[in-house]
Amino acid sequence: MQKRILGKSNLEVSALGLGCMGLSFGYGPATDRKSAIRLLHAAVETGINFFDTAEAYGPFVNEELLGEALEPYRDKVVIATKFGFKEGKPSLGTDSRPENIRLVAEASLKRLRTETIDLFYQHRVDPNIPIEDVAGTVGDLIREGKVKHFGLSEAGVQTIRAAHATHPVAALQSEYSLWWREPEKEILPVLEELGIGFVPFSPLGKGFLTGAIDKNTVFEATDFRNTVPRFSEKNRVANQSLVNQINSIANVMDATPAQIALAWLLAQKSWIVPIPGTTKLHRLKENNSSAEIKLDENDLKSIDEALAKIDVKGNRYSDQAQKMVNR
């Protein structure tokens, strides 16, 4: 797989990363450990070297899984993890006090079985802690050799600028896809100006853009999509036209809807690295193949024109979760 560099950070990663949350948390029951390790090994063997986790995924168990699975490949992979919630639990609110950042870093290093965290994101901006203090603390960890790069997740423009002025931000992680293009308005221009890489999570719309979800889909009780307005039955019906359009485009190009959605993201900027997640080997291979699809200007124009008239219905987060983004 081709490599990309996240902004001006010199952090080189595979053009597609792997979002690992769903292996342990968020989308129903966790994948059994042996199957999860098999998938992580397959990802490495097929060229992926960029893996995304967080203390909050479980909490803790996802980091432990990656620590075990990736230990044999540690010198070949880039592992990103995150801090910023009380006790690693989003339900308890944010906690980016410098002392907590340090505690999380030490605990994550042990769970990941490594001496250095390649990319350490603030999972959500903490309104009670100046971002300068957060950036300064991560900067200290970088100087101590415990972290290599600093990142932010779902941060707003002012926060990005203030953080970057204190310590260089290597990457911003936020949602971006064919059904959530809000970052194009303000976020992408600022990232380009400052030389910050962009790591879109949910690049397949939490599964919706694959075409595998419709009005009849029933999610497991522990699947967080049950709380997402965009996934109500009514909104799934309303948003089906988007998937239908993507599927039509995919058919013409002899590809799948997921591959078109990922190829479209890769074509936006050379410093964008999507991190689709999956628990299935065949989906991993399907997603990886999207990196070989080259969309030219006419292709991108056709996609934009086809989707421009579609108004996607429903918020992408619950009201409570929405309060934590774009701070």
Tell me, what CATH number does 38's domain have?
Answer: 3.20.20.100
Domain count, the chain: 1
Using a cut of 0.95, tell me whether the model's pTM lies above it.
Answer: yes
Residue 37 in any domain: the answer is yes
Q: Which residue segment(s) compose the domain that 149 sits in?
A: 3-322
Residue 179 in any domain: the answer is yes
- Residue whose C-alpha is closest to residue 17's, from 179, 151, 194, 108: 151
**pLDDT tens, the chain, 327 aa long:** 999 999 999 999 999 999 999 999 999 999 999 999 999 999 999 999 999 999 999 999 999 999 999 999 999 999 999 999 999 999 999 999 999 999 999 999 999 999 999 999 999 999 999 999 999 999 999 999 999 999 999 999 999 999 999 999 999 999 999 999 999 999 999 999 999 999 999 999 999 999 999 999 999 999 999 999 999 999 999 999 999 999 999 999 999 999 999 999 999 999 999 999 999 999 999 999 999 999 999 999 999 999 998 999 999 999 989 999 999
Q: Checking DSSP bridges between strand 147-153 and strand 18-19, what pairing results, if any? A: unpaired
Residue 52 in any domain: the answer is yes
Residue 50 in any domain: the answer is yes
**Alpha helix segments (H runs only) across 51-167:** 61-70, 98-111, 131-143, 157-166
Contact 288, 47 (CB under 8 A): yes
Residue 174 in any domain: the answer is yes
Residues 85 and 162: their CA atoms lie apart, in Å, by 21
Contact 199, 172 (CB under 8 A): yes
Residue 22 in any domain: the answer is yes
Active site residues: 57
Residue 327 in any domain: the answer is no
